[in-house]
Amino acid sequence: KSLKKLEIDPAERPVGIQIYGHLVEPMVEAALRAEAAGPDLIDINFGCPVKKIAGRGAGSGMMR
């Protein structure tokens, strides 16, 4: 289901893909899949301050 979201219609441009997480290997895999989709930008979310996210080491929690 999530991979279907990586299909980009040229009429949607410009389009960006945002990824986040806290484990290196899945983040690398997500970045490679995002890159293969050919977006105009890829955003790695290091700024999310939400406690539920940052408390697990994702978002701004990765900056620790």
* Structure confidence by residue, pLDDT tens digits, 41-50: 999 988 888 8
> Which is higher by pLDDT, 25 or 57?
25
Rg of the chain in Å (alpha carbons): 13
- Amino acid (1-letter code) at residue 7: E
Q: Given the structure tokens 């980009």, which residue do they identify?
A: 8
In our burial notation (b when 16+ CB lie closer than 10 A, e otherwise), range 14-33 reads eeebebbbeeeeebeebeee
**Rounded distance, CA 37 to CA 60, Å?**
26
pLDDT, tens only, 2-52: 788 889 999 999 999 999 888 989 999 999 999 999 999 999 988 888 888
Active site members: 48
